[in-house]
Amino acid sequence: MTDAPADPLVIFTPSGRRGRVPVGTPVLQAARKLGVDLDSVCGGRGICSRCQIAPSFGEFSKHGVVSRPEALSEWNTVEQRYKDKRGLAEGRRLGCQATIQGDVVIDVPPESQVHRQIVRKRAEAREITLDPALRLHFVEVAEPDMHLPSGDLERLCTALEEQWGVSGATAGLPLLHRLQKALREGGWKVTAAVHTPAEGAPPRILEVWPGFRERPVWGAAIDLGSTTIACHLANLQTGEVGASGGVMNPQIRFGEDLMSRVSYSMMNPGGAEEMTAAVRRALAELLAGTAKEAGAEPADILETVIVCNPVMHHLVLGIDPVELGWAPFALATSDAVSCSAAELSLDIHPDAQVYLLPCIAGHVGADAAAVALSESPHTSDDLVLIVDVGTNAEIQLGDRNRVLACSSPTGPAFEGAQISSGQRAADGAVERVRIDPATKAPRFRVIGQEAWSDEAGFDASRITGICGSGIIEAIAEMRLAGIIDEDGVIGSPEQTGSGRCVADGRTWAWVLHDGTAEGGPLVSVTQNDVRAIQLAKAALTAGAQLLMDRMEVETLDRVVLAGAFGAHISPLHALVLGMIPDCAVDKVTSAGNAAGTGARIALLNRGARREIEQVVRRIEKIETAIEPRFQEHFVGAMAIPHKTAPYPELGRVATLPAVSYGGAGGGDAGGGRRRRRRG
Amino acid sequence: MTDAPADPLVIFTPSGRRGRVPVGTPVLQAARKLGVDLDSVCGGRGICSRCQIAPSFGEFSKHGVVSRPEALSEWNTVEQRYKDKRGLAEGRRLGCQATIQGDVVIDVPPESQVHRQIVRKRAEAREITLDPALRLHFVEVAEPDMHLPSGDLERLCTALEEQWGVSGATAGLPLLHRLQKALREGGWKVTAAVHTPAEGAPPRILEVWPGFRERPVWGAAIDLGSTTIACHLANLQTGEVGASGGVMNPQIRFGEDLMSRVSYSMMNPGGAEEMTAAVRRALAELLAGTAKEAGAEPADILETVIVCNPVMHHLVLGIDPVELGWAPFALATSDAVSCSAAELSLDIHPDAQVYLLPCIAGHVGADAAAVALSESPHTSDDLVLIVDVGTNAEIQLGDRNRVLACSSPTGPAFEGAQISSGQRAADGAVERVRIDPATKAPRFRVIGQEAWSDEAGFDASRITGICGSGIIEAIAEMRLAGIIDEDGVIGSPEQTGSGRCVADGRTWAWVLHDGTAEGGPLVSVTQNDVRAIQLAKAALTAGAQLLMDRMEVETLDRVVLAGAFGAHISPLHALVLGMIPDCAVDKVTSAGNAAGTGARIALLNRGARREIEQVVRRIEKIETAIEPRFQEHFVGAMAIPHKTAPYPELGRVATLPAVSYGGAGGGDAGGGRRRRRRG
């Protein structure tokens, strides 16, 4: 054996991967050899700067090396030119240019990792690993050779294979129309946008740009709701959200709820096509507006994920939703759908790929699948109930062993509709309510003002009505203060000791705020309002109980409230009202717009798509419409919090007065009512 | 061991497959079990009658069985009803209804085989095995079930898998738009058109029709030439051609030859789009017309194969052909292209799949690939030269070890253009010529008349000109009769002894027919005509010789003349003229429109597509434009038959007079001429 010095030892952090490489090996090459996740779009040409690394110098006893400044090569002209022209942060080097000269510790900062983690704000939520279906690759393509004739596309594919390991790429006709020009404009150097929907799936070249593309490419995550449409535009290379936007769903003019839209389609020849055109136009406008806000062109959007309920799913795809209007609620397709943006007239890049998550059942759509992706009941160690509160509630119950799902027709009361003083959650709406149990005096807060109504600076003239979370808190507080009884009956001033109880026909109403003297609104909670909320919340709880029956469990470990509205519900008040089965109040959390989050996950991580496609197949679907016990649960759940269920966990944190006011519309409230149609 | 009687023995002919099956097994099921190729679309429901079989009765010592009439079951009601309603030929049974009761010999007639042979007329041609990418499957789809929710598409796919073994089928959005209605109209029984481009490739459902579809589905094989477009419509289930049609390529108004069309695109912004629209419109009209002739709707055409030269290939796909106008003649794509009919605006079934064969090189297109598919040089035991004669000739040389290809710019002379009395091959054109070597008197035949010019009943008033094969025979016969010399110089009446040699400026012309006295045409061969044919044939032979040089061979085993024009060339005259290198005259054959045949093969056998895609990659391409020896060969090949090559095989069957007339345009004919542009 000779005494030749060993090759330098390289240690990458934070991965801890280590190994010896020959002197002069570029850091990028060393990283690839050692399986370290270091990004590159330009393939080591010192153009893209995505391979930035930070050498750490000093003695690292933990790693057993001394890392000296001379362990990396001097700056070469490519690296220096990049720094002069574009700038490089202190301590950063280009991994493709700096070469290894001695033992060294090298840190790969998060933004230089291909599969970087996207940290979610909530502690209980899974992190997202960036792994988009669409990747950019800068390639040098061989020029045509008469002696070895082959097409420009075939030479581009060879370059992608040789320079990036992308094999078997295909392209559609539109790319062929542009390819030859782009290759020649770029001097046989182009940036290719390659879409690979899954590991091992055939890659598709969506676009080629001459030379190295500096501008980001974008992906859109769209939550297409019956009422509103929300869009987040994410940079597909960094995962960062560049802009967000929302518009009303223009289909509202065909019907407020989904079922009335299905009816519109049934009653009006061409009605489905009209609604399809309307929602696609709205999507196109929203995408264009959001792109503008992000400083991008619509054509820079190369990927889109859409989540929505089954009716919106069919309408946006141009499928007549008529079969969703009656039993057995047959979907045209339940699996995930992939198509091109051009097929949906989205006016973004025509070959942008659109992915719709799978539907769980005829009433449990791709939006519920997205919630499942975001909240992962299928990986939960404890038993979790997830309630996505909307006009139609989707309910999921499960843990890593088994997940059940159903939908329940709550109606629009939670969104402030069918409530006497109700309004959408917008400036001026009461959103928080407290009632002093002793004095029965209310205090409240409205959207757009920081101050509570009993605090200095509160402007009462800006009160306009009450929104969904406000009415829930109001009724829950009324129950806590003894203004309504278990059956939801509002007592008289004498019974309740509150002068705010006023006669309203044969029943009583409770006045939260009377601004009529100043020309403002009278914000009160009528007996009918209480009834509407009781019907809505009974549907929710009955659905959840149905799933608990099927799961053969009597208690829940935790509850997640999802949906834009769910995010604003106070867990204590949800329990007092009995919107959900009993649960420890500190185990009731809000996930915000979990469907939208699920869309963003599917946009940024293609593996998540395959995951949810598998998961959805394993979710057991319960059709509430045909479950005889649903009606029984519904009747019990009309009471506040519940007629028969004991709610011991709620009992630990709140005491509900044992009052009973009888009277009209009391005990029989739930029994004789007809079940509302879905929507 | 017990003495229980053995299961009946079934012997299928012509396959010879045999085996024992339990008493009561339907013949179709027995066939499947024994691997016998017996067709079925309805899956054994007695609807489609594609599984017809013919039992053979008697003593078969060859098979060692006695086949008795009672070996098949009595007619059941399904089979009897089919016979009463639709008729069944004598001796035929429905394989799905007749069951096996005893030892029996059963013949599967060709039309009941899935992979039936399509016999080609030429003895030397390979048979085609029917194996289309598109198949029809009648399925019963499970109805939707609320307890097990799944989409209609997913249940259709399950049915295809369970009933037909078609797994992993996908569908596009347009099918989803129609699917639910079709399933319900058909009472959950539909016929699905499933396209599987290759064994093991993901199948795609192109269409579903309610119930069992009686009407055939069609495929179109299109030979898209620079001048004419030909279309054959084949029944995809039987392979039979239902109708054929042809139209002129409307792009002729943008330029007669391909290069002038490329120039049009270069000089006129939007010119390429204009030409694309024109040819697509012509294709759509041709397809509609051919469909009508076959008694079909355009929407019944579900598959199309197109073969064409590279410029037409780019134009029909909407790719600007500009790069094909100059070296290095770079194709946008050289591999086979698949797209939908809608993408090409063909106005047939919008989701019909269109397949374009791969291109071999910038000047050797999908038409040459189709010729290779039809003529199979890559499987030939002997060395074959294949010459596809057209405005641009494609030449292939090879055997099972190696195949070479090139193209050569022959110009339009072979098609009668640039010839003083020339015309296209149509009624009235002289197509055959003989000259008596002693008397120098000509006799000839014209298209549209059976009689030769010296026979009773010949009508001289119907002569209009001379077509390509006529001028070739005329010049070859002039050479045999000593009217022209080796250099192509027409001699004087004194030199030749023919009074038909008349002065034409400084040269001589030879009069074939003078109808001027009756107001008819003067059909003569001028010195310029001879020159034009010499230039064209020299290009052909020089290209062939270039390939022979590269292959390092000096003789050919056989020659195939292809192309609509090639079919009409007399082998002897082609040799005398020196259009091809020397070869035994009985080894020179015509393949007719081999490119069109190749298109039909690719249409009817999907394996042939994979085969030609592989073969094309292995073909070695020679670019004549950059081969220095091309010019040398060209000069030698200007002589008739050749200046330097000896043509010993020709010498066995013909003696060429050793005459020499010198004179203007003689010996220097080839040398100083500029090479014409391609087209």
Angle (nearest 5°) at CA B204 between B198 and B209: 125
Instruction: Identify the sign of the CA torsion B76, B77, B82, B84.
Output: positive
* Fold exhibited by the domain B118-210: Ubiquitin-like (UB roll) (3.10.20)
Q: How many Å apart are CA B554 and CA B586, to the nearest integer?
A: 18
Whether B231 shows a pLDDT value over 50: the answer reads yes
Residue in B148, B151, B173 closest to A331 by CB: B151
Whether B665 shows a pLDDT value over 70: the answer reads no
- Say yes or no for a CB contact (<8 Å) between A333 and B362: no
> For residue B593, what pLDDT is reported?
87
What contacts B89, CB < 8 A, 6 or more positions away?
A: B52
Q: How many Å apart are CA A262 and CA A325, to the nearest integer?
A: 6
Whether B128 shows a pLDDT value over 70: the answer reads yes
Give B143's contacts in chain A (Cβ within 8 Å): 328
For A18-71, the pLDDT digits (tens) are 999 999 999 999 998 998 989 888 888 888 888 999 999 999 988 889 999 999
* Shortest CA distance from B142: residue in chain A: A330
By C-alpha distance, which of A529, A578, A535 is closest to A672?
A: A535
> What percent of chain B has pLDDT above 70?
96
Whether B673 shows a pLDDT value over 70: the answer reads no
By C-alpha distance, which of A340, A210, A157, A147 is closest to B333?
A: A157
Choose the mutation target among A145, A157, A173, A364 for the interface with B, i.e. most B CBs under 10 Å: A173
What's the rounded mean pLDDT across residues A184-208?
96
> For residue A138, what pLDDT is reported?
96
For B314-334, the pLDDT digits (tens) are 999 999 999 998 889 999 999
> For residue A2, what pLDDT is reported?
55
What's the rounded mean pLDDT across residues B49-70?
91
What's the rounded mean pLDDT across residues A211-238?
93
Position with higher pLDDT, A674 vs A224: A224
Q: How many Å apart are CA B259 and CA B273, to the nearest integer?
A: 16
Q: Taking the CB of residue A587, how many other CB atoms lie within 10 A of it?
A: 16
Q: How many Å apart are CA A584 and CA A568, to the nearest integer?
A: 18
Whether B1 shows a pLDDT value over 60: the answer reads no
Residues of chain A with CATH 3.30.420.480: 220-356
> For residue A118, what pLDDT is reported?
72
- Say yes or no for a CB contact (<8 Å) between B149 and A361: yes
What's the rounded mean pLDDT across residues A206-214?
96
- Say yes or no for a CB contact (<8 Å) between A623 and B147: yes
A–B CB contacts, 8 A cutoff, strictly below: 138
Residues of chain B with CATH 3.10.20.30: 9-112
Report whether A134 contacts A194 (CB < 8 A). yes
**Shortest distance, CA B194 to any CA of chain A (angstroms):** 17
| A220-356 CATH | 3.30.420.480
> What percent of chain A has pLDDT above 70?
96
**Shortest distance, CA B322 to any CA of chain A (angstroms):** 10
Report whether B223 contacts B212 (CB < 8 A). no
- Say yes or no for a CB contact (<8 Å) between B332 and A173: no
Give A621's contacts in chain B (Cβ within 8 Å): 147-149
Q: How many Å apart are CA A182 and CA B439, to the nearest integer?
A: 67
Whether B395 shows a pLDDT value over 90: the answer reads yes
> For residue A120, what pLDDT is reported?
67
Angle (nearest 5°) at CA B451 between B122 and B502: 110
> Of A406-420, B6-20, B25-39, B75-89, where does mean pLDDT reach its minimum?
A406-420
What's the rounded mean pLDDT across residues B457-478?
94
- Say yes or no for a CB contact (<8 Å) between B331 and A150: yes
- Single-letter amino acid, residue B452: W
> What percent of chain B has pLDDT above 90?
77
Predicted confidence band of residue A362 (pLDDT cuts 50, 70, 90): confident
Choose the mutation target among B148, B175, B176, B315 for the interface with A, i.e. most A CBs under 10 Å: B176
Position with higher pLDDT, A414 vs A642: A642
Predicted confidence band of residue A671 (pLDDT cuts 50, 70, 90): very low
- Say yes or no for a CB contact (<8 Å) between A152 and B331: yes
Taking any CB pair shorter than 8 Å as contact, residues of chain B touching chain A are 143-154, 171-173, 176-177, 179-180, 317-320, 322-323, 327-335, 337, 339, 343, 359-362, 621, 623, 625-626
Give B625's contacts in chain A (Cβ within 8 Å): 146
> For residue A209, what pLDDT is reported?
98
HSE (side-chain half, CA atoms, 13 Å) at A177 = 14
**Shortest distance, CA B487 to any CA of chain A (angstroms):** 34
- Single-letter amino acid, residue B265: S
> For residue B75, what pLDDT is reported?
94
Residue whose pair of structure tokens reads 């509205």 in the numeric block: A565
For B485-508, the pLDDT digits (tens) are 999 999 999 999 999 999 999 999
**Shortest distance, CA B659 to any CA of chain A (angstroms):** 42
Give the tokens for residue B657: 């007079």
> For residue B115, what pLDDT is reported?
82
Report whether B207 contacts B223 (CB < 8 A). no
Pairing of strands A337-340, A301-308: unpaired
**Shortest distance, CA B298 to any CA of chain A (angstroms):** 23
Taking any CB pair shorter than 8 Å as contact, residues of chain A touching chain B are 143-154, 171-173, 176-177, 179-180, 317-320, 322-323, 327-335, 337, 339, 343, 359-362, 621, 623, 625-626
* Shortest CA distance from A315: residue in chain B: B177
Residues of chain B with CATH 3.10.20.880: 118-210
**Shortest distance, CA B23 to any CA of chain A (angstroms):** 42
DSSP state of B127: P
> For residue A410, what pLDDT is reported?
84
For B530-546, the pLDDT digits (tens) are 999 999 999 999 999 99
Report whether B561 contacts B595 (CB < 8 A). no
- Single-letter amino acid, residue B580: I
* Fold exhibited by the domain B218-356: Nucleotidyltransferase; domain 5 (3.30.420)
> For residue A395, what pLDDT is reported?
96
> For residue B423, what pLDDT is reported?
87
- Say yes or no for a CB contact (<8 Å) between A332 and B179: yes
> For residue B426, what pLDDT is reported?
84
Give B204's contacts in chain A (Cβ within 8 Å): none
- Say yes or no for a CB contact (<8 Å) between A146 and B180: no
For B149-160, the pLDDT digits (tens) are 899 999 999 999
* Fold exhibited by the domain A9-112: Ubiquitin-like (UB roll) (3.10.20)
Whether B110 shows a pLDDT value over 90: the answer reads no
The residues pairing with B54 across neighbouring beta strands, listed in sequence order, are B107
> For residue A556, what pLDDT is reported?
97
Whether A417 shows a pLDDT value over 90: the answer reads no
What's the rounded mean pLDDT across residues A410-415?
80
Predicted confidence band of residue A252 (pLDDT cuts 50, 70, 90): confident
For chain B, the average pLDDT equals 91
> For residue B540, what pLDDT is reported?
94
Choose the mutation target among A175, A177, A324 for the interface with B, i.e. most B CBs under 10 Å: A177
Residue A118 phi/psi, 5-degree rounding, is -105, 110
- Say yes or no for a CB contact (<8 Å) between A332 and B145: no
- Say yes or no for a CB contact (<8 Å) between A151 and B343: no
* Shortest CA distance from A272: residue in chain B: B177
Whether A568 shows a pLDDT value over 90: the answer reads no
> For residue B668, what pLDDT is reported?
35
Choose the mutation target among B145, B146, B407, B622 for the interface with A, i.e. most A CBs under 10 Å: B146
Asked if the A128-210 domain carries CATH number 3.10.20.880, the reply is: yes
Whether A458 shows a pLDDT value over 90: the answer reads yes
